[in-house]
Structure formats: structure tokens, C-alpha cells
Structure 1
Amino acid sequence: MRQDLDIGGILFSPFVAYAGAAFVIMVVLRAGFARIRFSRYVANPPLVEAGLYICIVALLVALF
């Protein structure tokens, strides 16, 4: 997906789609993390989640 997205005549960068897809993936992961109480295993859960989000965006950009 290296083409610009045309939504209502407005062109969006493909990065916007990657960031949105990563957000959806993080919502699913966050539910899983809550289920296993992930916050008990890390010192700063928001920092870990932000790092995972960046890694997911990077993987999406690299793979697609």
C-alpha cells in the first residue's frame, strides 16, 4: 500500500493507514494485556505500550 489514500477528495499519506492499523492492533493487544495483568511484569506499562505501538507501525511499514 504505497499509494496515497483518496478520501472525499483529500489525499492521505499511506502512513496514516499504517498508524490506524497499528492502533487497532494495539487495542486488541491492550485487551489481552489487561487479561493477563501485564502491568505487574513491567515497571512502566504506558512506556512499554508506546514502544510496542512504534514497533508495530515500523513492522507494517516494512512489510507492506
Structure 2
Amino acid sequence: MHRDLDIGGVLLSPFVAYAGIAFAIMVVLRTIFTRFPLARYVANPPLAEAGLFVCLLALVVALS
């Protein structure tokens, strides 16, 4: 997906779609991670989630 997205006459960068895909994956992973107490293994869980989102975003961009 290397073309701009046209939503109501507004052109959006493909990066917006990549961020949406990464966010959707992150929502699924977050529901899985809430079933297991993985937050006790990191010092700052929100920072760990942000880092995971950045890694997912980089993976989505690299694979597209």
C-alpha cells in the first residue's frame, strides 16, 4: 500500500493506515496480555506497551 488514501477528498499518508493496522494488532495483543499477569515483569507497563506499539509499527511498515 504505497498510495495515498482518499477519505472524503482528504489525502492521507499510507503511514496513517499502517498506524491503524499496528493499533488493531496492539488491541488484540493487549486483550491477550490482560489474561496473563505480565505487567509484573516490567517496571513501567505503559512504557512497555508504547515500545511494543513502536516495534509493531516498524514491523508493519517493513513488511508492506
Aligned counterpart, 2:8:
8
Give SS of 1:6's match.
Answer: strand
Percent sequence identity is 69
Aligned length: 64
Matched, 1:53 2:53: yes
Aligned structure 1 segments of 4 or more residues deviating by more than 2 angstroms: none
Matched, 1:17 2:17: yes
> How far apart, in 2, do the equivalents of 1:44 and 1:50 lie?
10
Cα RMSD (Å): 0.7
Question: What letter is aligned with 2:32?
Answer: G
CA distance in 2: counterparts of 1:15 and 1:37, whole angstroms: 32
1:6-59 Cα deviation digits (max 9, x unpaired): 111110000000001111111111111110111111111111100000001111
- Normalising to structure 2: TM-score of the pair? 0.95
Letter in 2 for 1:46: P
